[in-house]
Amino acid sequence: MVENGQMAPEFTLTSDQGETVRLADFRGRKVVLYFYPKADTLAAFREKYALPFPLLSDPDHQVAGAYGAWGEKKMYGKTYEGIIRSHFAIDEAGRVTDAKIQVKPETTVELAFQLLP
């Protein structure tokens, strides 16, 4: 798992609009990175909730794995691997300032608002 103070693992992913997005593109700006289980298609989910930011796809789970957001889960007595709902705040220099694994869905908005000035 990535911990506070560490450099955030770099990534290049495809957005819901088909654009290539790199973490390096956001250097000099704060970034909030969420990992969450698949819900709708990317574009439909963003439109449904009027999200003003791109959603990124990590189909091979490499980025989720690098951040510690991919691992063993249990549901209904079965064990499987999947996305672990997680939250990472990254500062202007690319360092992780807030890393939380196993975030409850109802706290994701609260966590994001805590990062706003």
Q: What is the pLDDT of residues 56-71, one digit of tens each?
A: 999 999 999 999 999 9
Name the token pair of 35: 């990992």
Q: In which residue ranges of the chain is pLDDT below 50?
A: none
> CA triplet 108, 26, 55: central angle to 5 degrees?
45
Per-residue b/e over 40-53, b at no fewer than 16 CB within 10 Å? eebeeebeeeeeee
Q: Are 32 and 117 in contact (CB under 8 A)?
A: no
pLDDT, residue 113, reads 72
**Widest pairwise Cα distance in the chain:** 45
pLDDT, residue 82, reads 93
Strand, coil or helix: 39: coil
pLDDT, residue 114, reads 75
pLDDT, residue 51, reads 78
User: Which domains occur in the chain, in start order?
Assistant: 12-114 (3.40.30.10)
